[in-house]
């Protein structure tokens, strides 16, 4: 489905790396029946083509620091949309910005070290944004399901 643009071996490699991005080229090769060198060449090709963007460790800040995580739904006037997205993009507390359906709507995620820091984001960054028609904020109480990236 999502991997139709890849040949069978590349699809197998991608599926294995989704399960475990730390899997060695040798282990991948054993599982799919090609050499470690061939796996390395294919992975490098996938990286160069932008199919594989990055390998990362995802930290849940709420588990180590009691951080506050919020989702914002922000509606802007059309003429202010670019300025709002630029201002939000520059803020370190803002971790994700998505343009979603609806009139100039943004879905924004922020993670702050404390409630006070989150309130500061709202008061000093979001509230003064030009052309904001509406903004709602939802604090995340717990994660029930949280999948990163494409799942096959």
Q: pLDDT of 23-56, one tens digit each?
A: 999 999 999 999 999 999 999 999 999 989 888 7
Angle between helices 36-48 and 8-19 (to 10 degrees): 90
- Fold assignment, 61-139: Alpha-Beta Plaits (3.30.70)
- 140 or 86, which is more confident: 86
Q: For 71-107, how does the pLDDT look when each residue is reduced to its tens digit (9 = 90+)?
A: 999 999 999 999 999 999 999 999 999 999 977 799 9
Measured in degrees and rounded to the nearest 5, phi and psi for residue 101 equal -60, 155
Judge whether residue 151 has pLDDT over 70: no
- Residues 66/139, Cβ–Cβ less than 8 Å: no
Tokens of 118: 């989150």
Q: pLDDT confidence of 3, banded at 50, 70, 90?
A: low
- Residue 62's pLDDT is what? 67
pLDDT above 50 for 1: no
How far apart, in whole angstroms, are the C-alpha atoms of residue 97 and residue 91?
Answer: 11
CATH 1.10.10.10 fits 8-48, yes or no: yes
Phi, psi for residue 104 in degrees, rounded to 5: 50, 50
- 110/91 Cα distance (integer angstroms): 9
Per-domain residue ranges of the chain: 8-48, 61-139
Residue 147 has pLDDT above 90, yes or no: no
**CA dihedral defined by 21, 22, 28, 29, rounded to 10 degrees?**
130
């Amino acid at each position: 489905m999502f991997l139709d643009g890849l040949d069978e071996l590349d699809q197998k490699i991608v599926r294995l790396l989704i399960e475990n991005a730390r899997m060695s080229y040798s282990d991948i090769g054993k599982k799919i029946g090609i050499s470690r060198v061939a796996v390395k060449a294919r992975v490098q090709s996938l990286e160069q083509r932008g199919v594989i963007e990055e390998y990362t460790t995802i930290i849940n800040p709420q588990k180590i620091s009691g951080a506050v995580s919020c989702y914002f739904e922000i509606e802007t006037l059309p003429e202010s949309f670019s300025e709002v997205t630029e201002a939000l993009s520059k803020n370190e507390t803002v971790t994700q910005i998505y343009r979603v359906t609806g009139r100039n709507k943004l879905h924004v995620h922020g993670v702050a070290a404390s409630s006070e820091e989150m309130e500061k984001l709202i008061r000093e960054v979001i509230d003064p944004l030009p052309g904001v028609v509406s903004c709602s904020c939802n604090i995340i109480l717990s994660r029930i399901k949280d999948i990163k990236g494409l799942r096959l």
